Amino acid sequence: MIRWTVPAALAAGRWALSRRRRRRERARPGELVPWAVAGAVAGVSASALAERRLAGLLRGRAVLVTGGTRGLGLRLAREFGSYGAAVAVCGRDRGRLDRAVAGLAGRGIRAHGIQCDLSDPEQAEAVVEEAAERLGGLDVVVNNAGILRVGPRETMTTADVEDAMAVMFWGPYHVARAAWGRLRESRGSFVTITSIGGHLAPPHLWPYACAKAAQVALSEGLAAESQGSGVRVTTVVPGLMRTGSPRGAVFSGAPEREYGWFAVCAGLPLLSMSADRAARRIVRATVRGRGYVVLTPAARLGMAVHGLAPGLTQRAMALAGWLLPGVPPEPEQRPGTEAGQGLPGVVRALSALNEGAGRRLNQPSRAGSAPPGDGGREP
Ligand SMILES: NC(=O)c1ccc[n+]([C@@H]2O[C@H](COP(=O)([O-])OP(=O)(O)OC[C@H]3O[C@@H](n4cnc5c(N)ncnc54)[C@H](OP(=O)(O)O)[C@@H]3O)[C@@H](O)[C@H]2O)c1
């Protein structure tokens, strides 16, 4: 009996002692308040310091954003400009360009607009020259301009693939050649907005995926030979973003149905990222000279799985393609401003965030609706 009671009593005593110690160590809720306040103050100070550092690094810098007249490009121009950089933006549409420049100037940003078609090599090179001349140099070039055609492969022509390549591969190629010397001098940054579509080709975006894959190689190839040049090369790989882009895209086959699935995917919060957040991340990555930035968890996951099991992602894309609208007996083609008219209520509700972004980011308006706006952030 004694053999068991002594160790049992010792163990019970040890347990009681350790319980008392644990209770004493456990802080009372009131004691946590100063720590929480200190943590919050430290967090706010760190972010204020980071903001000041960004402003210090960007104030007075010269930034060219191609396709900065609407969507992500316009949001990027605002972000760079908000830290004191002077920005040049370009696009094909004169009215949209003027609205974008006026909106930037209204925010106190020194902005210059250049009307151009980047698919023309001479115009692509001239954009760089004009931007450098008007801004007094060139510190950052962001290759952002892009075009989007959505529809089954059977409705895409060779000209569609050539157009996509001209804007998203050859345009950045000529911009890179024209800007490299200036960026070497300024020890600047060359940033390219590619796409997850350049890593794993989604269905109904054939020309886009071809051009984006070439654009990824363009950016990675430049980075591979940039060591010692002083130029920092950043490859940005966004997943879906809420830039309001469906309105400026072209839809073929069954345009309304194509618009519907694309607008829903690009508008869902879990699948897509707000243009505000994307722009903030891209500007910070540029300033820090990061080589690679993958936006959205879905894009990160897609790239990881594709790297490990490309056959699996290819099969998943084929399944997604099978679920998308087929080619109708009489295929049509329409701009997003028309294809997005008269959508069913559920599609309108699911794409509402993206539509709102379109209104704030100078995207083309639908026939009969108010002109695009320039203010506000996405909630
Ligand atoms: N939105 C997304 O979900 C998403 C996802 C992945 C990657 N991205 C990429 O991110 C970039 C920005 O996307 P976004 O959604 O903001 O696109 P967006 O709204 O369609 O804007 C494209 C911009 O490029 C300009 N542009 C088009 N063709 C041009 C040309 N030939 N010459 C000069 N400018 C031209 C457009 O202006 P004009 O029409 O006036 O010429 C516009 O300013 C693109 O490269 C896109 O591929 C977007």
Closest atom, ligand 1, to C-alpha of 238? 6
Residue 306, pLDDT score: 98
Give the residue whose CA is nearest to atom 46 of ligand 1: 146
Give the residue whose CA is nearest to atom 44 of ligand 1: 146
d(CA 285, CA 303): 19
Q: Which amino acid is at 376?
A: G
Closest atom, ligand 1, to C-alpha of 145? 24
Q: Could you tell me if the CB of 362 is within 6 A of ligand 1?
A: no
Contact (CB, 8 A) for 154 and 203: no
3-class SS at 324? coil
| C-alpha distances out from residue 270 to 260, 297, 359, Å | 17, 9, 21
Element (H, E) at 252: strand 250-253
d(CA 375, CA 372): 10
DSSP 261-316: HHHHHTT-TTTEEEHHHHHHHHHHHHHHT-SEEE-SHHHHHHHHHHHH-HHHHHHH
- Which residues lie across from 274 on neighbouring strands? 242
Contact (CB, 8 A) for 164 and 149: yes
d(CA 150, CA 161): 12
Q: At what angle do helices 29-58 and 275-288 cross, to 10 degrees?
A: 70
Active-site residue set:
208
CB atoms within 10 A of CB 309: 12
Which pair of tokens denotes residue 316?
């998943």
Task: For 198-219, write each residue's pLDDT tens digit.
Answer: 999 999 999 999 999 999 999 9
Q: Are strands 332-335 and 250-253 parallel, antiparallel or unpaired?
A: antiparallel
Contact (CB, 8 A) for 63 and 111: no
- In 3D space, the residue among 96, 145, 138 whose CA is nearest the CA of residue 124 turns out to be 145
Total length of the chain: 379
Q: Could you tell me if the CB of 86 is within 6 A of ligand 1?
A: no
Task: For 118-149, write each residue's pLDDT tens digit.
Answer: 999 999 999 999 999 999 999 999 999 999 99
Contact (CB, 8 A) for 229 and 203: no
Closest atom, ligand 1, to C-alpha of 168? 45
- In 3D space, the residue among 242, 245, 263, 244 whose CA is nearest the CA of residue 359 turns out to be 244
Which pair of tokens denotes residue 294?
């993958």
Residue 87, pLDDT score: 98
**For the purposes of burial, counting CB atoms within 10 Å of the CB of 317, is it exposed (0-12), middle (13-18) or buried (19 or more)?**
middle
Contact (CB, 8 A) for 77 and 111: yes
| C-alpha distances out from residue 187 to 53, 77, 227, 230, Å | 18, 20, 12, 5
Q: Are strands 111-115 and 332-335 parallel, antiparallel or unpaired?
A: unpaired
DSSP 78-128: HHHHHTT-EEEEEES-HHHHHHHHHHHHHTT--EEEEE--TTSHHHHHHHH
3-class SS at 365? coil
- In 3D space, the residue among 224, 233, 369, 243 whose CA is nearest the CA of residue 289 turns out to be 233
Q: Which of 119, 122, 144 to mutate to test the pocket of ligand 1 (most atoms within 8 A of CB)?
A: 144
CATH superfamily membership of 53-240+270-318 = NAD(P)-binding Rossmann-like Domain (3.40.50.720)
**For the purposes of burial, counting CB atoms within 10 Å of the CB of 157, is it exposed (0-12), middle (13-18) or buried (19 or more)?**
exposed
Could you tell me the distance, in angstroms and rounded to a whole number, from the CA of residue 76 to the centre of ligand 1?
12
Given a cut of 70, the residues of the chain with pLDDT beneath it are 1-13, 16-18, 20-29, 367-379
Which pair of tokens denotes residue 314?
């290819």
Residue 378, pLDDT score: 45
Q: Are strands 140-143 and 189-193 parallel, antiparallel or unpaired?
A: parallel
Residue 374, pLDDT score: 55
